[in-house]
Chain A
Amino acid sequence: MSEAVAEPSFIERASTAFGAFMERVSTAVSDGITAVFKPILSPIFDPINNFLNSVYMPWATLFSLGLFGAGMLWVFLLKKEYVNLDSPGKGILYDLRLWTVISMTPHVIVYLYFAKWSD
């Protein structure tokens, strides 16, 4: 004897139908956009992608570390009064420039640790 299969509820059927409809619309939109814009955009993006693909990986790692380094330097270029406006105290513990350096340090350590220094 075969086991009776429960009929899907109205909500289940409506949800499935809506999902399938959205999928069809999404595919049609994507196909249309690709046909129109790929010939225009490829000549612009292909050379950029080729250049980025050829970048020597240690440079990419240095660039990422540079982003953190630049952030640490940048806060010291801002006016101290601007950075620490409304500070509850005057000591070094309340200096948000120091907080920035301390907050970024763990990130710099992990990027150094997980860096790959050869291509």
Chain B
Amino acid sequence: MDGAAQVATTGLSGFDLAIIITYMAGILAIGTYFGKYVKSATDFFLAGRALPFWAIGMSIVVSDIGATDFIFVGGAAYSYGISAANFDWMGSMPAMAIAAFVFMPYYWRSSVYTIPEFLGKRYNTAVQIIHAGIWGVFMVVMLAVIFWTTAKFLNTTVGWPIPVSIAITVVVVGIYTLSGGLAAVVMTDVIQLIVMFVGGMALLVLSLWEVGGWESLKEQIGVMSQTVDPKYADHFTIMLPNDTTTPYPWAGIVFGLGLVMSTAYFSGHQGIVQRCFGARTEWDAKAGMLFGGFLKSFIPFMVAVPGLAAVVIVPGLATGDDAVPQMINKLLPAGIRGLTFSALVAAFMSSADTYLSSASTIWTTDLYGRFYKFRFGKELNERHGLIVGRIFTIVFLIFAVLMAYPIGQTPSMYTFIQKALSMFQGPVFAILLLGIMWKRATQWGGLAGLLLGVAFSTVLHNTQGLFTISDPFLFVAMWSFVFTVGVTVIVSLCTPPEPEEKLRGLIFGQVIKDGKIQRVLLDRVS
């Protein structure tokens, strides 16, 4: 949070502060309002399956774009140029179309609450529990990280002490998530996206105004590439050579990010797809994903372009992560600055509510639910699920508050957990894809693919000098995906096929071509 700490020098006006406080109070009121609609586990975890496409799309975008994206993507654009925007362009629409038309119909029709639950139906309980365990731990730790970074941000900008900042964030996010569940999370996300767009667009317009417009910006950076540093020559090139010294080689961007990592993210990140599970119809689930992809195409303009403008306005920064906070300090007038800070607070809060809601869903459905079935031989009912879900929400809030400081002081711990999760993405996507597209994939193929794929990711990630870039996570995702596909296919072919009854409604070809199965699925959903 070095970048965010930079805004400490802003000296927010009383008007800015009033905007931030009004914003937080408004979010609390709107989120809590949805509590009156929550009567069952389906209402709590899936918003009663009543979400319209526009709310889903807006919520997906705001959950995906955190405050750190504003700071780090802007910083990466400052250091490496527009290629940093690939994460929101190449890393969104192709993957979101695949998620919309391949994965969402299946998740939606099979009436699942979580991705691990789907994997459990398609493969076996071991795959479900391994996936749920890793995601469940990751989300709870990330919740503590987000509370810490939000508190640091509020401490440096508004001057509230860290314990007070944590308490305010926990109370606001906790109350509306606990009372309104997914519906409150999504509807507050809608407001948060609007605030984020207004704040982001203000920063974009004022950045371009300051440098004399887009063409002038290009011209000035072009001159700097000849007089200051040749690295600026590629600042307006979207695809960089494979042996680039930046973290964005073209093959990693196209294959690793475009085909594997982002598809794994939009098809397999519980926080993202849970919004689609809560759609009122299958059409809304698909349309929400596409609408989100359309909105995401504008994000780099608000995030990366101010980073590019900072090359001209605040040259020579020690780290690119200081670029956006410096631009906020320098360019935004009172009132707009308060709005932009609210946008950053919005980004923090939306990430926190996403992790809180999704962690509670996974722990209730996939871990407690499986334990309950194992112990008592029956599934959780709606009422029981709702109570357990709310208890988990409270427990995670308390855990996150207690762990926020120690985790905030130990960046290597959450770096380690994030790295562990990134090593998981390629293999999980491989078994998800094969599970849906290939009838012959067996439970043992899926389990072997998952375990050996994660092991292979670990090896690739830790073998120094194997790739030209220092943090080759894009290549790791790509090759671990290929490896997992190979392992799953080989083991599946060596083990007996799954029974037809188990696979009904879970295979792509059946759902498109078999009218009888389509009717069974639709009856099941209705």
Contacts and interface: CB of A to CB of B under 8 A. Distances in A.
Interface of A: 11-12, 14-16, 18-19, 22-23, 26, 29-30, 33-34, 37-38, 41-42, 45, 49, 52-53, 55, 57, 60-61, 63-64, 67-68, 71, 74-75, 78-79, 82-88, 94, 96, 99-100, 102-104, 106-107, 110-111, 114-116
Contact of A34 (B82, B259, B458, B464): B464
Contacts of A11: 405-406, 409
B239 A67 contact: no
Given A53-B242, A61-B239, A41 B283 contact: no
20 contacts: A14-B406, A15-B406, A15-B410, A19-B410, A22-B412, A37-B459, A38-B465, A61-B238, A64-B239, A67-B254, A82-B511, A82-B512, A86-B284, A88-B283, A96-B101, A102-B294, A110-B238, A110-B300, A115-B238, A116-B237
Interface string B461-477: 01111111000000000
Given A16-B410, A96-B287, A116-B239, 20 more contacts: A11-B409, A15-B409, A16-B409, A19-B410, A30-B464, A38-B466, A41-B460, A52-B249, A60-B251, A64-B90, A71-B93, A71-B98, A74-B97, A82-B511, A86-B281, A96-B283, A99-B287, A106-B298, A107-B90, A114-B82
Question: Which 10 A/B pairs are nearest by Cβ-Cβ distance?
Answer: A15-B409, A114-B238, A86-B281, A106-B297, A103-B294, A86-B283, A33-B462, A60-B250, A52-B242, A30-B462
Interface in B279-293: 281-284, 286-287, 290-291, 293
Contacts of A49: 242, 467-468
Interface residues of B, number: 61
B258 interface: yes
A55 B242 contact: yes
Contact of B463 (A37, A79, A83, A100): A37
Contacts of B286: 83, 96
Contacts of B251: 52, 55, 60
Contact of B241 (A26, A57, A96, A111): A57
Interface string B204-247: 00000000000000000000000000000000111101110000
B406 A96 contact: no
B250 A64 contact: yes
A14 B413 CA distance: 13
Among B236, B253, B287, B465, the most chain A Cβ lie within 10 Å of the Cβ of B287
Contacts of B259: 67
B238 A104 contact: no
A102 to B, nearest CB: 7
A70 to B, nearest CB: 8
Contacts of B284: 86
A34 B97 contact: no
B290 A57 contact: no
A55 B238 CA distance: 16
Contacts of B458: 33
A53 to B, nearest CB: 4
Nearest to A56: B241
B258 A67 contact: yes
